[in-house]
Structure 1
Amino acid sequence: MKLFLTLSLFASASASTPWPLPANFSSGSAPLSVSSALTFSLPDDAAPSPFLADAFSRYSESISNAQGCSAEAQSLLPPQPSSTPQLSSCSVSVSSPSSDPSLTVSTDESYSLYLALDGSCSISAASEFGALHALESLSQLAGETCTVTNAPVSISDSPRFAYRGLMIDSSRHFLPVRFLEHIVDTMVASKFNVLHWHISDTESFPSSSALFPELAEKGAWSPEAVYSVPDLKHVVDYAYKRGVRVMPEWDVPGHGSWGKGKPEVSIQDGSCTNTLDPTNPDVYDFLHDFLSEMSSVFPDANLFLGGDEVDTSCFTSSPSVSKWMTENNIADGVALQSYFWQQVTSTVMPGLNKTLGVWMADDGIPYPEDLPAGSFGNVWQSQSSMPAVIDRGADVVLSGPWYLDQQQPGGFQTYALQALWQGMYAVEPFSGLTPAQQAKVLGGEACMWGEGVNALDFDALAVTKAAAVAERLWVPQGEGTVDDAQERLEEHVCRLNMRGVAAEAVAQNFCLSDVL
């Protein structure tokens, strides 16, 4: 009886508010049961595009097969009266439908969702990607216990920022393709829309290339720890179907394992063989050819090329590089980096049809003035450097306060690890910016660097804190406090746990996943 009472309390509060908090949300207190044969359709039973048909099928299946809908779970929950109305179908309308929708920074992701007391359901969205967010919100309301507890529900929603990212690192620890799918699924649950994939670094180069197979053959941890070109394309397609862009990153000129597979384009004397040689014209031909190939694999409008933490002693300790610098009046390693990016701008980027992104540190390197027009900088150190980066001409993405591998996010200090999300949630991206500067902020991203994370501990270290960042990037400015979010995040973590995601708990509480 005690267990049943506890679960009854859980059921009464379960899945009542989607995460992130919708911009406009109202609900009642009446229950709706969810049919095991829930279907979605367009108005007048028009045929959905393949994109929407896939989404309809996926959400029908995931809601019907949710762990809380199992016979075991239902036996632990109080039965619904036979007179409870049933949610069995939902009409979905898209204002500007497309058979091949494109997700960019200008895509309208807004949607509305209405659940009536009689079980009728309607969704309207400006684009297919807004429809995906609506389906996710509906699944959160209905999917974990096969009961909507708070009808009628009315949602009118859109994100604050167009760029809401999660960065992952597959160089320090290889992440299998099946786990990359899992990461995308967890992103969708918090309405992230950019997967920033830091594919390679000094430790390994796991990305295949038809033009340069030696990069992975000599640079990967092992022959098994390699993403084939079909693997790469599969991840891109899997994410696209779920409303997530995949932005690849190959760090240059440092932070790479270039010298393992392509020693001829790296500094060949000294101790810095994994740093590209800016003085070698073959470097730029190689980068153009490699990135052209990768652009056919990763169609996203953005290309990220890193550029941070270059050890300038690699340049000055190389006799051949130092000699070239003297002959070409390049004063120091910083000036040589400027030269490198100027060459990337003039000889590598043309023809790729990509917007360039780089890490921008407090020292300003790479300098925006050395990059193609329209490039953006990821501000990864102090948030206070954002005004200077913007004023030098770059759009920005903020990540510095949202490093998931740090114990003092955004300067927040706490004894309890389960409270780290609070520091991330409390960050205001526009802090210290004028209205004109605010207009240059594309959004932000949470970063899960891979030195201390692999597929076995990723969920516990990343997912809950990333969800906090996701809501901060979604809700309107000035809305959402830690106190307000606490109970809703507990609910969201339980929801994720019910989906098989090992997200970190944020409080002492009970979830059906504890006993199922």
Structure 2
Amino acid sequence: MRAVNSKACSFLAVVTVCVVIVKIAIAVDRESISSLYKFRCFSGKCLRQHQDYLNESEQYFDSLNECRLVCGEYSALWPIPTGEFRLSHETTEILPGNVRFDNAGTPEDRKVKQFLNETQKIFIKNLFRECGRSCNRTSASNVLISTNIQATETSLSWQTNESYELHVSTQGSTVEVAIIANTVFGARHALESLSQLTTAKQYRDGNCLLILTEAHISDSPVFPHRGLLLDTARNFISLKAIRRQLDGMASTKMNVLHWHITDSQSFPLELVSFPQVTFNGAYSERHIYKQKDVRQIFEYARYRGIRVILEFDAPAHAGNGWQWTADAGLGNISVCLNEQPWRKLCIEPPCGQLNPANPNLYNVLQEVYADFASLIPTGEIIHMGGDEVFFGCWNATQEIVDYLASHRRGREQKDFLDLWGEFQRSVLKLWDRSRSNEPLSPTILWSSHLTDPEVIETYLSKDRYIVQTWVEESNELPKQLLKKGYRLIISTKNAWYFDHGFWGVTNYYGWRKVYNNKILKNSLILGGEACIWTEFIDEHSLDSRTWPRLAAVGERLWADPQIDASKVEGRFYRQRDRLITRGINPEAVTPQWCVQNEDECR
């Protein structure tokens, strides 16, 4: 037995040694692979060079991101600045733990200081994410960030001044940063830009960050509305996944989350006034946005420079959730609900439209709008939806046909338009009543038959309504509405609809198409939105359908650059890498070889 044990031990010892040798070999091999190529800056692009063929007269960088930090006119900034800027090509080492803040130049206002404290925490968190593990190199410089803010405004609107100045200089072992902004939102954007002037640097004795030794940036957005529509009614999207989208938007300086929170498929929002709506409308008890959840999203977004605009779509796209009303003695609040064949009654299944012939509808909606008003911060607006009203549904509902006849109307398109316009006037009054302690504010509607240039002035006041157009880039509707004096938000259907390409005859729009989609510049155009409709998207595919394409929208709406996508490859790939660092899972847009060999794969 001793001989057998001895042989067994010897065998195990040999196996153990072999495993160790293999692990060491793999580690050495990985290290050699990581340093197999160096990168040099040439004509604003980072070129890859094998380490065996380096030219001693050239400067090389260990990583592509390090090269991109000092290479090119805009360094690694995304989006590009719109004002004057000057960026050095030298770097120094820093650590996130060595950053200190001086907020002496800010107003003595509790909300301002709280906002700055939160945004500074986010900034430091992003630096640690960029630096990675073992972020503890001892030779790093100190960083002192001084902030000067003029206004005490801490709520975001289309009138908010988001401009900033960022000044970076290096004195000995200290990097001095000065941020000058009118509002906390401008200061937040400055911190985002500052974080993009850094990249990770790896050493054997610990990692650190490299930061430009000098930078001077004056910056402000071209459009005040830079948004993402997120539909969470077709497929429920968790709060965690929504927060990821907000983190990505913050990195791109986008400032509006348009939250399409209800539809005919589901009504996942908790209502205090009528809990039956949520009970009948949510997919399950786990698929409900409680009121505290919605308020938390509002707050999470605000500290990232983003406002949340809730959409309560009506009178179409209103089905599940309203099944209970007839049994409760209120009549049919929704008609055509889940009826078949659906193609005769709605645009997509399941069907459901509010019933303007039922007088109880407006009593119910008054309470529902009060619920929405309690969730929305003071001064914020609501999106009223208003698209794809299907006249075939109303025309197939005897109650509505009789209502029209009693008001001396027929069953032609104009009769249904008049009914729709009557509904819109009524619900606007309900909304105003729910916000009676505030000045009258505008609301947003999707473009539709009601916003047709030939009839819009009959039904919609240009003082109270903003139209969100969702037509192809060649469609003349935006220009026609501008001539009539209506304010617009643009969602170019054949470029910024990110659900396209996965159903029907729609096409997928790559990031270059997304980036090159220019919208009209006019004082009446507030900006634009990309749209994530979730019939074929859930939270498991949300990141990859949204990112990094949304970053292309972000630069278009912030800077409206004159350059096209062919000039931004390196910075775009760097932004995608930044998104990954911040916990987002963007889709791949090109082979890694193309990332490392810019402009070779066009």
TMscore range, shorter length = 0.7 to 0.9
Is structure 2 residue 380 aligned with structure 1 residue 321? no
Structure 2 partner of 1:132 = 188
Q: Which runs of 5+ in 2 are unaligned?
A: 1-31, 39-61, 70-74, 202-207, 340-344, 346-350, 597-602
Which of 515, 520, 524 aligns to 1:425? It is 515
- Aligned equivalent of 1:360: 447
DSSP-derived class of the 1:251 partner: coil
In the alignment, what sits opposite 2:368? 290
Q: Which among 158, 164, 175 is matched to residue 111 of structure 1?
A: 164
- What RMSD over aligned residues (CA atoms) do the two structures have, in Å? 2.8
What secondary structure, in the 3-state scheme, does the structure 2 residue paired with 1:211 have?
coil
Post-superposition CA distance 1:149-170 (Å, at most 9, x none): 5432111110001111101011
Whether the 8 Å contact between 2:95 and 2:209 is mirrored in structure 1 is: no
Within 5 Å, which residues of 2 pair with 1:56-455?
Answer: 56-63=120-127, 65-71=128-134, 82=139, 86-98=141-153, 101-118=154-171, 119-142=175-198, 144-145=200-201, 146-257=208-319, 258-262=321-325, 264-268=331-335, 271=339, 274-299=352-377, 301-331=380-410, 332=412, 333-352=416-435, 353-361=440-448, 364=451, 367=456, 369-372=458-461, 373-383=463-473, 384-400=476-492, 401-407=495-501, 420-430=510-520, 438-455=522-539
2:548 and 2:586 in contact (8 A); partners too: yes
CA 1:168–1:124 in structure 2 vs 1: closer, same or farther (change >3 Å)? Answer: same
Q: 1:69 to 1:247 in 2, by over 3 A?
A: same
> For the residues of structure 1 that align with 2:107 and 2:376, how far apart are their CA atoms?
32
CA contact under 8 A between 1:359 and 1:377: conserved in structure 2?
yes
Q: 1:123 and 1:186, CA in 2 relative to 1: closer, same or farther beyond 3 A?
A: same
Which amino acid in the other structure matches residue 403 of structure 1? Y
Larger Rg: 2
From 27, 31, 34, the counterpart of 2:94: 34
1:97 & 1:196 partners in 2: Cα distance?
A: 25
Q: CA deviation at 1:103?
A: 0.7
Q: Is the 8 A contact 1:94 1:127 kept in 2?
A: yes
Aligned equivalents of 1:440, 1:369: Cα separation in 2: 20
2:491–2:529 CA contact under 8 A, matched in 1: yes
Match of 1:43 among 104, 116, 141: 104
Distance in 1, Cα, partners of 2:177 & 2:132: 20
Alignment CA distance shift 1:87-1:281 (3 Å): farther
* AA matched with 1:218: N
Q: Residue type of the partner of 2:369? A: L
Residue 473 (1) aligns with residue 526 (2): no
Query: Could you report, residue by residue, the CA deviation over 1:3-47 in whole angstroms, capped at 9, with x for unpaired residues?
Result: 224471324224542211111332121112122321222136987
1:502 and 1:261, CA in 2 relative to 1: closer, same or farther beyond 3 A? farther
Deviations 1:303-354 (A, max 9, x none): 1111111111111111111011112123332332122223223454345344
Instruction: Supply the AA of the counterpart residue of 2:248.
Output: T
| C-alpha displacement of 1:381 | 1.8
User: Compared with structure 1, are the counterparts of its residues 302 and 30 closer, same or farther at alpha carbon in structure 2 (3 Å cutoff)?
Assistant: same
Amino acid at match of 2:518: E
For the 8 Å contact 1:40–1:90, the answer to whether it is kept is: yes
C-alpha separation between the residues in 2 aligned to 1:106 and 1:196?
18
Letter in 1 for 2:590: A
**CA shift digits 1:20-78 (9 cap, x unpaired):** 11113321211121223212221369876111112122222331x2143322x89xxxx
Amino acid at match of 2:519: P
Preserved contact between residue 387 and residue 446 of structure 2 (Cα < 8 Å): yes
Q: What secondary structure is seen at the aligned counterpart in 1 of 2:409?
A: coil
User: How many residues were matched structurally?
Assistant: 488
| Residue aligned with 1:116, SS | strand
- CA distance in 1 between counterparts of 2:366 and 2:65 reads 56
Q: Which amino acid aligns with 1:505?
A: A
CA deviations on 1:380-416 (whole Å, 9 max, x unpaired) are 12342102223344210000231111249xx997xxx
Q: CA 1:216–1:508 in 2, change beyond 3 Å: closer, same or farther?
A: same
TM-score (norm 2): 0.75
8 Å CA contact 2:169, 2:176 repeated in 1? yes
> Aligned equivalents of 1:210 and 1:357: distance in 2?
24
Q: Secondary structure at the match of 2:179?
A: strand
Residue identity matched to 1:322: V
In structure 1, what is the Cα distance between the partners aligned to 2:157 and 2:450?
30
TM-score (norm 1): 0.87
Cα shift at 1:174: 0.6
Structure 2 distance, partners of 1:412, 1:488, is 29
The answer as to whether partners of 1:361 and 1:381 remain within 8 angstroms in 2 is: no
Question: Relative to structure 2, which stretch is displaced further, 257-266 or 187-196?
Answer: 257-266
What letter corresponds to residue 120 of structure 2 in structure 1? Answer: F
Match of 1:22 among 73, 81, 88: 81
Contact map agreement 1:29 1:149 (CA 8 A) in 2: no
- The whole-number CA distance in structure 2 between the counterparts of 1:379 and 1:325 is 29
Structure with the bigger RCO (C-alpha within 8 Å, sep 6+) is 1
* 1:457 corresponds to which of 492, 516, 541: 541
| 1:506 maps to 2:584 | no
CA–CA distance in structure 2, aligned partners of residues 11 and 105 of structure 1:
35
CA distance in 2, matches of 1:424, 1:3: 33
Q: Is the CA contact 1:330–1:336 (under 8 Å) kept in the aligned structure 2?
A: no
d(CA) in 1 for partners of 2:396, 2:225: 40
